[in-house]
């Protein structure tokens, strides 16, 4: 297993590369060119600059998160072929510098959705919070008006250049069903997976977060059954998954340990984090420690270990602790603590395995 750490780039992150290098067991950074508008080709020169920056600290750039997909592709519009062609050119540029995994998602309009960025926990730290009723009670078109007049309603993933198009997008998606979205995803995969095979790049789709419809928009990468269906759309070893315990774990019906064991050979990238679920559907992100949340973090790590997982893993969102000023969910301190917790579980499994082999022999 390769442990990696999300990094948002020089001048765009409070976490410099030399800090990341000092976290035990971290071999590389997970990165993206966040300033390139969705649908445009990532310039090779810019990609090469990222590699040079990481090389100085002996860190790899094997995993990209994310190369976002243009809405025209998700909507199945006639213009999608142009954006798929641009996507393929970006894939080719990434392959030139040795990128091995591309994480992406197929969520309409929004990426992960939360209703509060700095909800206070009992210990005094803050974390990302999702209030289900608040989302259910907001009419999408009213939301657009509210955002226009009050930036406080802005949620993560709602970039300013996208907010101005929200009204149009909501109207367009009114005629898009889940089956339509499945068809548009298959069309995209049929174009890019053969290219990924040639480039030796693994594609890893991220589950929808949360794993159910928000604002009436279709969402399809949500559960075990749909993960099976996804992998069969284009059945190739490079067509795989990003396992995200936080995204899938927001729905109590998802058995995360079973999902890891079932799909381990097609999980190319893993996000491991914890969250606490409430009976009313709300959830808040917590420390990685198992007893702090609702997820079986030990069971998840054991499933990866017993499946001989050799892909990439990173600690996902953490709390904001020790008065750290940081990007919501992406502070240095709690994610570094999370890594050590995950390594602690992993190392104990390794040592336990050695003891069992000794007894057996």
Q: Which residues are catalytic?
A: 206, 244, 271, 316-317, 330
Task: Write down how long the chain is.
Answer: 361
Q: Give pairs for 18-26: CB < 8 Å, separation 24+.
A: 18/57, 19/332, 20/57, 20/59, 21/57, 21/58, 21/59, 23/336, 23/339, 24/339, 24/340, 24/343, 25/339, 25/343, 26/59, 26/339
Q: What share of the chain is helix, strand, coil (3-state, %, to 5)?
A: 45, 15, 40
In the DSSP assignment, the letter for residue 320 is: B
Q: Which of 50, 90, 47 is nearest to 70 (CA)?
A: 90
Which DSSP helix (H) or strand (E) runs through 240? strand 239-244
Q: Measure the CA–CA gap between 245 and 52, rounded to whole angstroms.
A: 32
- Residues 155, 185: contact at Cβ < 8 Å? no
Rounded distance between C-alpha atoms, residue 273 and residue 300, angstroms: 10
Radius of gyration for the chain, computed over Cα atoms and rounded to the nearest angstrom: 20
**Widest distance between CA atoms in the chain:** 70
| Full strand arrangement of the beta sheet holding 275-277 | 116-120, 126-130, 283-285, 275-277
């Amino acid at each position: 297993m390769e442990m990696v750490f999300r990094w948002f780039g020089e001048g765009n992150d409070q976490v410099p590369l030399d800090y990341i290098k000092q976290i035990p067991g971290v071999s590389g950074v997970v990165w993206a060119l966040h300033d390139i508008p969705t649908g445009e080709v990532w310039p090779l020169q810019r990609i090469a600059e990222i590699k040079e920056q990481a090389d100085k600290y002996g860190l790899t750039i094997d995993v990209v998160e994310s190369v976002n997909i243009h809405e025209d592709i998700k909507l199945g519009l006639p213009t999608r072929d142009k954006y798929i062609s641009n996507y393929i050119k970006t894939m080719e540029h990434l392959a030139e510098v040795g990128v091995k995994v591309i994480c992406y998602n197929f969520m309409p309009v929004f990426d992960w959705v939360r209703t509060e960025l700095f909800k206070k926990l009992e210990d005094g730290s803050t974390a990302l919070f999702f209030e289900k009723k608040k989302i259910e009670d907001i009419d999408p078109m009213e939301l657009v008006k509210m955002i226009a007049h009050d930036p406080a309603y802005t949620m993560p993933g709602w970039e300013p250049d996208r907010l101005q198009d929200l009204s149009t997008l909501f109207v367009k998606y009114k005629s898009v069903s889940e089956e339509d979205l499945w068809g548009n995803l298959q069309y995209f995969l049929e174009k890019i997976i053969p290219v990924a095979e040639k480039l030796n790049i693994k594609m890893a789709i991220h589950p929808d977060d949360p794993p159910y419809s928000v604002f009436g928009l279709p969402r399809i990468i949500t559960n075990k059954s749909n993960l099976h269906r996804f992998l069969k759309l284009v059945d190739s070893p490079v067509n795989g998954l990003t396992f995200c315990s936080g995204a899938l774990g927001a729905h109590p019906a998802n058995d995360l340990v079973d999902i890891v064991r079932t799909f381990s050979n097609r999980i190319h990238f893993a996000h491991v984090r914890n969250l606490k679920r409430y009976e009313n559907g709300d959830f808040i992100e917590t420390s990685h420690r198992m007893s702090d949340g609702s997820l079986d973090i030990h069971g998840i790590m054991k499933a990866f270990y017993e499946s001989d997982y050799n892909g990439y893993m990173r600690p996902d969102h953490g709390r904001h602790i020790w008065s750290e000023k940081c990007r919501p969910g992406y502070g240095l301190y709690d994610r570094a603590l999370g890594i050590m917790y995950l390594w602690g579980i992993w190392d104990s499994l390794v040592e336990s395995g050695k003891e069992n082999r000794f007894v057996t022999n």
